Structure 1
């Protein structure tokens, strides 16, 4: 097997399945056989973002591939693509890498700018899975996978496993599946877990970053189960209410540029770039942390026993 060029691309092979699954979900929802909400303009925006992401990948993918090959050529170990243990190892290591990439993409504004478009839909259906970034390559999120190449995993293995992860994550973008069996929910990322991740309810913010295995969230303290008493509300904290593709793709980058233009110190420059989304010098803007804190304070006040005057 060629260690540099993957013999197949899981995502490309899965495209017909993606299309058929979306059509099936729409049809079943039309007959009220499953729960699914589609809005034509929203769905078209998601599909356009997916197409644009593929085009952007062709433009920026060369740099990521060249960097991966260069690092692999200076690898610490020789890991054969034909070894079963190597595929088992890369499954877990790539999924762990994805967890930290995903968490970074929510917790630091520079990388959130490249990821926020995926969360900008106020609907949650299979087409939402295709609402992918145009600027991830520019934000260099691919660099997080370079240590795996340094360990000795061939670029072709990395490409295949990353593709498998993306294909897996397609089916969890749905409200049609309420819960999977308990053992499955305990180990794997599921529609229920990922609905929480896409929710803008304060209780649900910044949780469930998993790719395939939900165990990473449980291990690192970011797991939040979906609660029957609190239905997820989808979108971002301040929804765009706009289907303009350029705005969907670049609105957070534009916000960063505006903030940097008004920055008054190096500290503010760093904060606007790499602080939490919503960071401001005076703390006047909401972040996930402040929204959660406000919600927790309101909950504590609501749950406190009445004290007689």
Structure 2
């Protein structure tokens, strides 16, 4: 019960902060005469999907993840943080490093992409886009990629929750066109400039800049593209861009399309291959293009 109350408190606190920032940014662009940055109906859809996701996430953390974390902890290194600040720094880098690979997997495994696609379906880049998330994150077990390594090392469960939530909270602030370049920070941090490239749907922008707080992982593992080299950025999906703003459909269309592909082609590989592997392998009839999926080259 205590874990659930903590989750609810986090949702309410950060929710109010994020909504206030969204309103402020919308007002800023309205005063600048840029009516294309925000669309009320799309913003409402993003906020609604975000609320559904965060409620499901809070319940999952309180009911499942905390118990699983305690169980996994006993089989790990049971690291005892005795170095003060250095332990905090170690956790920060570990959480961000694991997120990089989790995020990269979401773009390369269709089972995970079926949840993440919702976040990329917005055709606008503003702070409300950060909230366009999918409750399927909590049902597809992808979160194990992020939580298990931290539990196996043995960090305190409460500190792990704080570190992960703060990592996600930081990412809210990189979903904007209001901030251009941030000087020296561009070399180390994931900034709005870098993340705009990540949300682009043109060929040079797809599958780039997966970092959470830090951009150094992309530079180390060859997935970094600077905004200055990315060309004109077009947000959204390159194929089957959704025409609905129904929050439930935004979250589930691609999942049902994926299941339909598995049944149609009787091929379970579709679940772990790239998002467009099925098109590249079997093709797709026009009347089956009902999902929100993103064109890319299968790994």
Instruction: Indicate conservation of the 8 Å contact 2:105/2:112, yes or no.
Output: yes
Gaps spanning 5+ residues in structure 1: where?
291-309
Secondary structure of the corresponding residue to residue 88 of structure 1: helix
CA RMSD of aligned residues (A): 2.7
1:9-88 to 2 correspondences below 5 Å: 12-32=12-32, 37-61=37-61, 62-80=63-81, 83-88=84-89
Normalised TM-score (structure 1): 0.84
Secondary structure of the corresponding residue to residue 205 of structure 1: coil
> What does residue 201 of structure 2 align with?
200
CA positional deviation for 1:284: 3.5
**CA pair 229-107 structure 1, distance change in 2 beyond 3 A:** closer
> What does residue 290 of structure 2 align with?
none
Residues in 1 aligned to 2:104 and 2:111: alpha-carbon distance in whole angstroms: 13
Residues in 1 aligned to 2:128 and 2:91: alpha-carbon distance in whole angstroms: 28
> What does residue 275 of structure 2 align with?
277
2:100 is the counterpart of 1:99: yes
> What does residue 171 of structure 1 align with?
173
Secondary structure of the corresponding residue to residue 16 of structure 1: helix
**CA pair 152-229 structure 1, distance change in 2 beyond 3 A:** closer
CA positional deviation for 1:232: 0.9
> What does residue 124 of structure 1 align with?
125
**CA pair 194-71 structure 1, distance change in 2 beyond 3 A:** same
Instruction: Indicate conservation of the 8 Å contact 2:199/2:236, yes or no.
Output: yes
CA positional deviation for 1:176: 0.7
Q: 1:145-181: per-residue Cα shift (whole Å, max 9, x none)?
A: 2121111111111100011111111111000111111
**CA pair 287-129 structure 1, distance change in 2 beyond 3 A:** closer
Residues in 1 aligned to 2:27 and 2:187: alpha-carbon distance in whole angstroms: 31
Instruction: Indicate conservation of the 8 Å contact 2:7/2:58, yes or no.
Output: no
Normalised TM-score (structure 2): 0.87
Secondary structure of the corresponding residue to residue 122 of structure 2: coil
CA positional deviation for 1:282: 2.7
> What does residue 297 of structure 2 align with?
289
Gaps spanning 5+ residues in structure 2: where?
285-293
Residues in 1 aligned to 2:66 and 2:171: alpha-carbon distance in whole angstroms: 23
Residues in 2 aligned to 1:186 and 1:82: alpha-carbon distance in whole angstroms: 28
> What does residue 189 of structure 2 align with?
188
